[in-house]
Structure 1
Amino acid sequence: MAFPKFEIKKSKSGDYYFNLRSKGSGEVIATSEMYSSKQNCKNGIAAVKRDAPVAEVDDLTVTS
C-alpha cells in the first residue's frame, strides 16, 4: 500500500465507522467511533484529515 487509507465499514448493528490503515503494511492504526449515518462517518474522516496535522500529543504515561 503506497499511501495511508481510510476504509468506511458498517457494523452488524447498522452503524458506520472507519479504520485508518497505515501505508506499507496496511495495518489498522486507528478506528473511529460509531456513526449513525455514512455522511457523519465521512465528516469524521474529514475532521481527522483537517485536525491531525496540528493535534498535540498528551502522554498520559508520564507520572509526576
Structure 2
Amino acid sequence: MFFSSSAKSKPKFEVNKNSDGQYYFQLIAANGKIIATSEKFATKENCMQGIELVKSSATTADIVDWT
C-alpha cells in the first residue's frame, strides 16, 4: 500500500519543560496543530499523571456550553 508524505499521523501528547524548569504538556492533533496546553507542573511525574488524567476523563466528560 502506498502512503503519501501528506498522510496524517496520530494525535499525541508532547511533554515540554519551560525556562523556569516547570513541565507542561500539549495535545497535538493528527494534523500537527496544538489543541490543548496544560497547566505547569513542578515535576515530570506530575505532568505525566496529568496526561493520564486527561486520557481517562475525556471519554466520559460532559460538554457544557455557556453561550
Q: TM-score, normalised by structure 1?
A: 0.89
Shift of 1:14: 0.6
Runs of 4+ in structure 1 off by over 4 angstroms are: none
Residues 6-63 of structure 1 show CA distances to partners (whole Å, capped at 9, x for unaligned) of 000001111000000001x2100000000000000000000011010000111121xx
Q: Which runs of 5+ in 2 are unaligned?
A: 1-7
* Rounded Cα–Cα distance in structure 2 between residues aligned with 1:16 and 1:49: 18
* Rounded Cα–Cα distance in structure 2 between residues aligned with 1:60 and 1:17: 27
How many pairs were matched up? Answer: 60
Identical-pair percentage: 45
User: Considering only CA atoms, is the larger Rg found in Structure 1 or Structure 2?
Assistant: 2
Q: 1:10 and 2:22 equivalent?
A: no
Q: TM-score, normalised by structure 2?
A: 0.85
The Cα RMSD (Å) is 0.8
If each structure's helix is expressed as a fraction of its own residues, which one has the higher value?
A: 1
Q: Which runs of 5+ in 1 are unaligned?
A: none
